[in-house]
Amino acid sequence: MTDHKVYKNLIIVNSSHGDWTGLYLDNQLWHENHSISQHDWAEIINNHHLDTVTIKEVDGQWLEELGSFPRLFTEIPTDKFTH
């Protein structure tokens, strides 16, 4: 049997421009790119136990100026969420 990593929370954060996505596992940036590959989704589904999955959106202009998602989800300023 494969050992599964236990994470409580997956937060999917999308840019309001629709061109960038970040995945946070328990507050840590796990992956970011223009899109999330089927391989990456399969890895999350097959290898991680999750309690919750949340989808958020951030201001695309802010993210573009920053250049990439912060390493920690909690470093995203609350006023940058669009919904």
Domain-located, residue 76: no
The 10s digit of each residue's pLDDT in 21-80 is 999 999 999 999 999 999 999 988 888 889 999 999 999 999 999 999 999 999 999 999
Domain-located, residue 52: yes
Token pair listed for 53:
């999955």
Judged on CB neighbours under 10 Å (0-12, 13-18, 19+), 16 is: middle
Domain-located, residue 75: no
List the domain range (segments joined by +) for residue 23: 9-13+17-56
Q: Give me the pLDDT at residue 28, please.
A: 96
pTM of the predicted model as reported, rounded to 2 decimal places: 0.88
- Helix runs in the chain, H state only: 38-47, 60-66
Domain-located, residue 23: yes
Residues 6+ apart with CB under 8 A from 7: 25, 26, 48, 49, 50
Domain-located, residue 27: yes
Domain-located, residue 68: no
